[in-house]
Structure 1
Amino acid sequence: MTSNLTDNTLDLDQAITSIKIWDQIRDAAQKSLRSEPVLEKMAHHIVLSSKDMAQGLGRLLSHQQPDTLVSREELEELFSFVAERAPQIITFAAADLEAVCERDPAATDFFVPFLYFKGFHAIQMHRFAYWLWQNGRQDMALFLQNRSSVLYGVDIHPAAKLGKRIVFDHATGIVIGETAVVEDDVSLFHGVTLGGTGKERKDRHPKVRQGAMVGAGSILLGNIEIGHHARVAAGSVVLKDVRAHATAAGSPAKEVRG
């Protein structure tokens, strides 16, 4: 299942959860200030002076950008504009934070991935780019894609469809093509490519179904399907479908169990 980011219906339970997570992030920021006062300006601007997660996330992403011809203030306004029209972006972000803390032992609380994990940041940047792409603002979407690639080393085409509770572990070198689909509860490790073979023209990228995991350095090519809760071992080259709950490994990959 891929949760629909273009559906403006807001799930009330998810909205309440995002508020609770933001409260916990604020509490952790207060503790961080006591132990690391040099970070006070950053923590205060991004977290403590932000009224909610939407504002905090917009400030976080905009202030990671170099303040050049497109200013940080203009980007913050852009993120606020999109979040007001697509509030589910924020509930998806909260769901991503929950997933990171469930699956990554390095995430000791919500504050840590929110502020410091570039995989989380890259996913959120893509969500804004995706909304812009779907709403006729392709140039701005491509600008955000470029910024994500330069800043985080993660290159996701703005048209690619990502669900929620997604985890990019370490994230460096992840590439996701235009017609790829990454459903809910998927984990991708660093160096994963969801690419094309060069032989297909339209629907040409992998579909990674709910709960699947793709190991570091794996290359998945073509309009193939990685089934629900399937596993792809690190370093694999996958050119064919992988069945649900199966594990694939090797180059070219073969199912080793399932």
Structure 2
Amino acid sequence: MEHKNQTKASANEFNLCHGRLSQEELDEIWAGVHEAAEKIIQSEPQLRHLLTDVVISRKCMARGLAARLARKLAREDMQRDELEPLLCDILINNGALVRSAARDMQAIVDRDPACQSALEPLLFYKGFLAITSYRISHHLWGTGRHALALYFQSISSEIFGVDIHPAARIGCGILLDHATSVVVGETSIIEDDVSILHEVTLGGTGKVSGDRHPIVRSGVLIGAGSKILGRVTIGTCAKVGAGSVVLEDVPPHKTVAGVPAVVMGESNEENPALGMNQSLCDGNRI
């Protein structure tokens, strides 16, 4: 199936990182991360060095994020003493990136019952670290530093198993649950408050150029292993069943499943991304 190119849309047409956190809310989240880190140090002293380096010694979330990403992404090509100052400078001077990361943290805590605090995504959740790395590379791409942006994409893909092109546009409040093998193509657009499970592909079709990857609207839940191909739109608060192949637009508040995906009925809840209800309209799992 071939999809026609579309005229590039304005970012104002999409819900991308609306309702960012205030500085007070951001400070409150970081204070909670500090508190959780101090408790773990008391019970697991072997983690003292990690927690002190990434959290306890850091006055703000920007510096903590820079330290954590530097620990994970540093290698011979760019060692930590070079990488961390670069990341820190970008995050401190671009507060929107930090607020977006904080909203991603909140999304994980709110939607993943296995997550007990905002500290856990920072330390252990590769989906969170991968999308935070994407935010760095997207900033670099937007300022014309394409080679460095692609470098971060490549390293992040190797380390976290998540491949997001730096030109893709992604909102905040994003949950990449488990995250392994998630692929997001160059012209993809993902609005705020979306939940995506592992092995999901937002891909193109053939050699079509221009806007050739999917648009995912707010409130969407995409089940594990789903493949969404071409410039199709997944409507607001829709649900895509696990293992589905989506080749056509999905209307808002509908559930689709199958290969190729077809409409199964209405979504079971008002906002599937927040509810994380892994079922179809008839009660079958997605």
For the aligned pair, the TM-score class normalised by the smaller chain equals over 0.9
The residue that corresponds to 1:2 in the other structure is 15
The runs of 5 or more residues in structure 2 that have no matched partner are 1-13, 267-286
Aligned residues: 253
Whole-angstrom CA distance in 2 between matches of 1:86 and 1:66:
22
Whole-angstrom CA distance in 2 between matches of 1:66 and 1:242:
40
Relative to the length of structure 1, the TM-score reads: 0.95
Equivalent of 2:138, from 130, 133, 141?
130
The residue that corresponds to 1:91 in the other structure is 99
Residue 180 in structure 1 maps to residue 188 in structure 2: yes
Please tell me whether the aligned partners of residues 229 and 244 of structure 1 are also in contact (alpha carbons under 8 angstroms): yes
Paired residue secondary structure (2:159): helix
Runs (4 or more) in structure 1 with deviation over 6 Å come to: none
Residue 167 in structure 1 maps to residue 175 in structure 2: yes
The residue that corresponds to 2:249 in the other structure is 241
Shift of 1:69: 2.6
The residue that corresponds to 1:78 in the other structure is 86
Shift of 1:52: 0.5
Whole-angstrom CA distance in 2 between matches of 1:85 and 1:2:
23
Please tell me whether the aligned partners of residues 2 and 164 of structure 1 are also in contact (alpha carbons under 8 angstroms): no
Please tell me whether the aligned partners of residues 130 and 156 of structure 2 are also in contact (alpha carbons under 8 angstroms): yes
Matched ranges for 1:13-52 at <5 A: 13-52=21-60
Equivalent of 2:204, from 196, 204, 207?
196
Residue 231 in structure 1 maps to residue 244 in structure 2: no
Equivalent of 2:150, from 132, 136, 142?
142
Shift of 1:155: 0.2
Shift of 1:199: 4.4
Whole-angstrom CA distance in 1 between matches of 2:49 and 2:262:
51
Equivalent of 2:61, from 53, 56, 63?
53
Letter in 2 for 1:214: I
Please give the per-residue CA displacement for 1:105-157, whole angstroms capped at 9, x wherever unaligned. 01111111121100000010000100000001001100110111000000000
Relative to the length of structure 2, the TM-score reads: 0.86
Please tell me whether the aligned partners of residues 17 and 172 of structure 2 are also in contact (alpha carbons under 8 angstroms): no
Whole-angstrom CA distance in 1 between matches of 2:234 and 2:99:
26
Letter in 2 for 1:249: A
Report the aligned-residue RMSD: 1.4
Shift of 1:4: 5.4
Paired residue secondary structure (2:262): strand
Shift of 1:60: 0.2
Equivalent of 1:209, from 209, 214, 217?
217
Shift of 1:80: 1.4
Please tell me whether the aligned partners of residues 187 and 213 of structure 1 are also in contact (alpha carbons under 8 angstroms): yes
Residue 117 in structure 1 maps to residue 130 in structure 2: no
Range that drifts further, 152-161 or 64-73: 64-73
Shift of 1:84: 2.8
Please tell me whether the aligned partners of residues 17 and 94 of structure 1 are also in contact (alpha carbons under 8 angstroms): no
